[in-house]
Structure 1
Amino acid sequence: MDKQLLIFDFDGTLIDSVPDLADATNAMLTTLGKTPYPLNSIRNWVGNGSRMLVERALVGKIEVLEGELAKEAVDHAEQVFFDAYKNISGSKTVAYPDVDSGLRKLQAAGYELALVTNKPIRFVPKILQAFGWQDIFSEVLGGDSLSSKKPDPAPLLHVCETLNVTPKQAVMIGDSRNDILAGQNANMDTLALSYGYNYGQDIRELNPTAAFDDFSALVDYLLKS
């Protein structure tokens, strides 16, 4: 493949953060006097950033219609969510199998690694520190680091420019349509993982360059490329 840079998504790709996100979401709903939802419902709402998660929780479904929620109400609810998530220990967030060893193998093989997530950047360093990954990624962007986030290609292109790598020398790796579309919009190869948060859609339907059912298979593919 002649690639130099691997750009990873975070939630649903490297870590399963849904249990902690669900706790924060339900704490928000309880504070607002609304009924909480089961974990499996909230799992389907994760992946488009905190704002969309909050909106989906407020209406109780994945599709939020334009004008269905007042901006002021969402602003307030999102702040309540942030406060709740900040106070959560993070103990329920886990790395997917073989991710820790896989990242280290890829780094040792000479790949440069970057992280581009739609999670607000303020919550990222704590999680990286918890897994001992704070020195693995050369560049880390959150959903609010720039004015645009995935599926817009801007964050991926920003990382490439910062690290002096062309899009053709980079690969976007993720679990959801936002990741694959962002990579395709940036004209770079995309590698998909099927186990994450993609709202019930088979990630292969988005025509990534290749797709894998577990992280170790992805690592093997890259090490043989």
Structure 2
Amino acid sequence: MICFSHVNFNGRTTPSRTTGSSPVPSPLPPKYLPPKYRTMPSLLFKCIPFIHPKPHPFPLSLVTAMSTKTKTRLRGVVFDMDGTLTVPVIDFSSMYKAVLGETEYRRIRQENPSGIDILHLIESWSPDEQRKANEIILDFERLGRERLQIMPGAAELCGFLDSKKIRRGLITRNVKEAVDLYHQRFEIVFSPALSREFRPYKPDPAPLLHICSTWDVQPNEVMMVGDSLKDDVACGKRAGAFTCLLDEKGRYCSADFTELDLEPDFKVASLAEVHSLLETNFDLMP
């Protein structure tokens, strides 16, 4: 709205509406007048126009909120162990062949191009067959523990999470002995750390839901990080958590995601990428 103000000799003004209505007093301090008019008698001029800007149609707080992107809160990260927190050292193909036999391995592998779930597969076998199969699996896992190596970027990522007071958990299909060795050798402890002894194991969401319950957080405030689409991503998706697929060698493509109907929320080639991913996409709160 534009108002015209009659300036008195004492420097005060009395604005008159352009609509012709009665003047409405509204004192205006002299400092807001142009310098040459601050002491000039009113006889030299009749009125000085002042523009009163209209208020912004939205409150400032709302304008600020509209321009700020809200990030999703993240309170915990759960990791797979073999191939995620550790360098892959177990030859799973050789292990499956030793358990199943060459011919049966090829047949099952052809029927399951995404990978063989050996633990669930042998559950339907007789007790004696299961015992022999578990002995073979344990031998391969024992050899893997002897060559245990921490994954590059794991220690730095865990340190970053600790600095943000973000909880760290672990879910593995390996045995508790392997988890204990990891904690002892690398002095990085995850809690809870669920091994194969916790049933049911991945890809069932039960272990991840158990960790969320222990932390007293919602699954949608947690991220599952792992190198297996059918185990880690499936576990996270079924629990309702965010998922991050670690794919160092480019094993997976969009066709794999479509075939299994399992598309991770994020995909990285190294644990070093997870650091910036978390900072960019999430509100990191304890």
Whichever residue aligns with residue 151 of structure 1, its letter is P
Match of 2:77, SS state, is strand
**CA deviation after TM superposition for structure 1 residue 191, in Å:** 1.1
> 1:202/1:129 Cα in 2 relative to 1: closer, same or farther (>3 Å)?
farther
In 1: Cα distance, 2:138 partner to 2:246 partner: 28
The answer to whether structure 1 residue 165 and structure 2 residue 217 are counterparts is yes
Q: Deviations over 1:172-192 (max 9, x none)?
A: 111102100111100111111
> TM-score, length-normalised on structure 1?
0.72
8 A contact 1:17–1:92 mirrored in 2: no
Q: Deviations over 1:82-101 (max 9, x none)?
A: 36744x58342212211111
8 A contact 2:141–2:174 mirrored in 1: no
Whichever residue aligns with residue 192 of structure 1, its letter is L
- Report the counterpart of residue 58 of structure 1 in structure 2: 100
8 A contact 1:109–1:223 mirrored in 2: no
Whichever residue aligns with residue 10 of structure 1, its letter is M
- Report the counterpart of residue 10 of structure 1 in structure 2: 81
- Report the counterpart of residue 179 of structure 1 in structure 2: 232
8 A contact 2:78–2:171 mirrored in 1: yes
8 A contact 1:13–1:174 mirrored in 2: yes
In 1: Cα distance, 2:193 partner to 2:248 partner: 23
Question: What does residue range 12-31 of structure 1 map to in structure 2 within 5 Å?
Answer: 12-18=83-89, 21-22=90-91
- Report the counterpart of residue 207 of structure 1 in structure 2: 263
In 2: Cα distance, 1:100 partner to 1:176 partner: 21
- Report the counterpart of residue 217 of structure 1 in structure 2: 273
After superposition, the CA RMSD in angstroms is 2.9
- Structure 2 gaps of 5+ residues are 1-71, 112-120
How many residues align structurally? 189
In 2: Cα distance, 1:129 partner to 1:169 partner: 29
**CA deviation after TM superposition for structure 1 residue 121, in Å:** 1.9
**CA deviation after TM superposition for structure 1 residue 59, in Å:** 1.9
In 2: Cα distance, 1:16 partner to 1:141 partner: 19
Higher relative contact order (Cα pairs below 8 Å, separated by 6+ residues): 1
In 2: Cα distance, 1:168 partner to 1:70 partner: 37
In 2: Cα distance, 1:76 partner to 1:120 partner: 17
- Structure 1 gaps of 5+ residues are 23-41, 46-52
8 A contact 1:16–1:95 mirrored in 2: yes
In 1: Cα distance, 2:144 partner to 2:203 partner: 29
> TM-score, length-normalised on structure 2?
0.58
In 2: Cα distance, 1:217 partner to 1:10 partner: 17
**Percent of aligned pairs sharing the same letter:** 24
